[in-house]
Structure 1
Amino acid sequence: MHRMFKGFNFWKQRAFKNLLSQPGNRLTIYTRNNPDPDSLASSLALKRIAEHYNLEVAVYYTGAIQNRTLANVLGDDVMNAPQISSSRNCTAFVDLLPTELTGEKINPTIVIGHTLGNKEGIHCAYQDIRTTETTSSIMTEYLKKLGVAIDKRLATLLLFAIRDKTRTLIANFTLHDLESYWFIHKYADMELLNSLEHPSARIDTFEDLSRAIANKIMKGASLFTTVGYVKDPGTIPRVCKYMLDIEGISTALVLAINATKIYVYAESKNMELNMKNVLKKAFGEWGEVTGGPLHANTSIPLGVFGIAASAESAKPLLLKSISDSISSRYFYVLEAE
């Protein structure tokens, strides 16, 4: 039976090390769909810890990494998978709860993450699920207490994740996040951190920005826009940040479409709103919502619309239909909030 311990204390450390020290073990790590910096940095931290105990490790994510600079920095340390599937290996979920998955029921060996939701019904050999704002803070404590070497790249990724989730310790942070921030920052590469936080803009971003400005709809301090059909939806978080720079706008949602999916990204400067909750209420029945209180995203299968999307003549009508549906749900939920 799983025993609950407070923090990563002696007993929890012993249970964790015993699990990783089993001979011949191989660890498969899964993180959430369309992972944010926190999901990726904390997964990489667990990978580093497992390698410290001489395990073979593979890290997988589903969906897409929206920050191209972050994806390049991670390189082959994380790999894309079409879906999360059960494995004969020791399996870990990082920043991902089994209860969040739809379809096949998978019981991982290890679950590490943060949540304010229901943890009932999670069965695994080891779990550490807390109400801290970032999973990276949890993994920083693991690195520190287990005495695992922290290189500059890992430290920078963890610091970037904590800064990203808490707006550089301005909002939604806990004492644990603060302690982890000050511990890890002395190892970080500030030049790399600056590159992650201020990635160079590609020409695609400015083209999408132009369409976003032309298509914007504003209601009070809230904005909705679409960039239309794109080859790479990874530009829309940057476009959304530009939308928030418009005078009087505190909340923005950007929509993009490709051949198979509808991509939605939303961000807010309004501390009274929780954008993850907003998107869940508006689109949770259509697709998994990831992110946090300040910014969140979801991808929605195009479904039967995908057939119409293949015909050029039908694309404008399809885009209008999707935009009207997404915007009406978005503004309705915001008004209710």
Structure 2
Amino acid sequence: MFKSFTLWKRRSFKKLLSKPGERLTIYTRKNPDSDSLASSLALKRIVEHYNMDASIYYTGTIQNKTLTNVLGDDIINIPALSQSQDGIALVDLLPTELIEEKLNPTIVIGHTLGDKEGIRCAYQDIRTTGTTSSIMIEYLKKLGVAIDNRLATLLFFAIRDKTRALITNLTLPDLESYWFIHRYVDMELLGSLEHPSARLETFEDLSRAINNKTIKGASLFTTVGYVKDSGTIPKVCKYMLDIEGISTALVLAVNTTSIHIYAESKNLELNMKNVLRKAFGEWGEVTGGPFHASISIPLGVFGVVANVEKAKQLLLKSISDSISSQYFYVLGAE
């Protein structure tokens, strides 16, 4: 049974936002997707409704550049999360997911199917919905906060994006929120979000990915080699999934400091976050969810080699062989 934004919870929540002169720092997950960003913006609008200032911060990169342009100054990129003198709200991000950062949040709002025991904060709303956006739509509705077209479109797109256009991972609260918010949507803006323009680098990386692909059954592994911007690999991965007979794909990229891995699957029996954790969890933090996940692994001392032209290809082959063998091994076990 799903929790709801009850009268008691509304009173508790509004009490935290009724402190004149205070600010709220909103942190969303690393490499935030549309759901993380839309729900963070919704919380920012609610906080401002109660005359408090709020700022949204994220780490990593946003894959959909149209999202970045639409959000504009409402979001700020930072190198790392840190404790703030202001109150901290974690949106679509649980304290249990933070390994290196030690934060003391005031508010935690998100959705999860995993362990949420041991979370300590003044206010928390953690549900087993498919999206955090559906939770925030209920907040907007029950608190009577004005919903502009831009916010509505972002929330609407987030539910569509996270549930693959209402096909998978959909819960009743998501469907109810989707129906409520659709009346405010800007259809032209929605079209831009659903069909973002592709950069030239994406097609160059796609060409390398096609040439380097290895296929075993319905699973594909490929590398785009050395890149300046790893932000293209999620889109390359989606193209790989369009290949006939492919249901799961992993794309690898390397820069001078890190190995970047992104994996996605159409196979509902697989949980890609668990797959990457089993394969590479000892090497770094896995982010994402059941259908797509990513991890960045520091190159360490090999970063020096990555700057030496003669050794680059040998290093890339060693990395690719290691990653692909571990990936296919775990998929076989799954």
Normalising to structure 2: TM-score of the pair? 0.97
Partners of 2:297 and 2:154 in 1: CA distance: 28
> What is the match of residue 324 of structure 1?
321
- Structure 1 residues 122-141: aligned runs within 5 Å: 122-141=119-138
Segments of structure 2 that go 5 or more residues without pairing to the other structure are: none
Aligned partners of 2:130 and 2:162 also within 8 Å = yes
Whether the aligned pair in 1 keeps the contact of 2:3 and 2:127 (CA below 8 Å) is no
Letter matched to residue 90 of structure 1: G
Choose the corresponding residue for 1:47, options 44, 47, 53.
Answer: 44
Deviation track 1:279-309 (CA, whole Å, cap 9, x = no partner) reads: 1221222222222222222222222221111
1:144 counterpart (141, 145, 148): 141
Instruction: Quote the Cα distance in structure 2 between the aligned partners of 1:209 and 1:231.
Output: 15
Separation (CA, whole Å) in 2 of partners of 1:239 and 1:103: 30
Deviation digits for residues 96-116 of structure 1 (CA, Å, limit 9, x no counterpart): 111111234212000001111
Query: In the alignment, which of 210, 214, 232 is matched to residue 211 of structure 2?
Result: 214
1:298 to 272, 295, 298: 295
Q: How does 1:307-318 map to 2 (within 5 A)?
A: 307-318=304-315
Cα distance between partner residues in 2 of 1:332 and 1:186? 47
Specify the code of the residue in structure 1 equivalent to 2:31: N
Question: For 1:206-261, what per-residue CA distance to the aligned partner results, in whole angstroms no more than 9, with x for missing partners?
Answer: 11111000000000000000001112211111111111111111111111112222
- The reply to whether residue 57 of structure 1 matches residue 54 of structure 2 is yes
- Mapped partners of 1:318, 1:196: distance in 2: 37
Partner of 1:67: 64
C-alpha separation in 2, matches of 1:260 and 1:71:
24
Aligned to 2:14: 17
Percent of pairs with identical residues: 79
Alignment correspondent of 1:179: 176
Do residues 156 (structure 1) and 153 (structure 2) align? yes
Give the conservation status (yes or no) of the 8 Å contact 1:68–1:234. no
Aligned-partner Cα distance in 2 for 1:104–1:31: 13
Q: Which secondary structure does the structure 2 equivalent of 1:235 belong to? A: helix
Q: Does 1:251 align with 2:287?
A: no
What is the root-mean-square deviation of aligned Cα atoms in Å?
A: 1.3
CA deviation profile, 1:119-145 (whole Å, cap 9, x unmatched): 111110000011111111111111111
Q: Measure how far apart 1:173 and its partner are.
A: 0.9
Distance 1:291 1:163 in 2: 17
Q: Secondary structure at the match of 2:294?
A: strand
The answer to whether residue 87 in structure 2 is matched with residue 90 in structure 1 is yes
User: Please, what TM-score do these two structures have when normalized by structure 1?
Assistant: 0.96
**Aligned-pair distance for 1:10?**
0.4
Conserved 8 A contact 2:66-2:192: yes
Find the residue that maps to 1:123 and give its secondary structure. Answer: coil
- Provide the rounded CA distance (Å) in 2 between the counterparts of 1:169 and 1:212: 30
Instruction: Work out which of the residue numbers 35, 39, 60 in structure 2 matches 1:38.
Output: 35
Specify which of 145, 167, 170 is matched with residue 164 of structure 2: 167
Report the counterpart of residue 234 of structure 1 in structure 2: 231
Q: Does 1:101 align with 2:98?
A: yes
CA distance in 1, matches of 2:261, 2:111: 23
Q: Is the 8 A contact 2:82 2:102 kept in 1?
A: no
Task: Report the Cα offset of residue 50 of structure 1.
Answer: 0.5
Stretch moving more, 215-224 or 115-124: 115-124
Structure 1: distance between partners of 2:10 and 2:251: 43
The equivalent of 1:195 in structure 2 is: 192
| CA displacement, residues 58-95 of structure 1 (integer Å, 9 cap, x when unaligned) | 11011111111111111111111111111111110011
Q: Within 2, Cα distance between the matches of 1:204 and 1:54?
A: 43
Partner of 2:281: 284
In structure 1, list runs of 5 or more residues that go unmatched: none
SS of the equivalent of 2:269 reads coil
* Distance in 2 separating the partners of 1:153 and 1:285: 40
- In the alignment, the residues of structure 1 paired with residue 109 and residue 329 of structure 2 have an alpha-carbon distance, to the nearest angstrom, of 35
Counterpart code for 1:251? T
**Number of residues of Structure 1 aligned to a counterpart in Structure 2:** 333
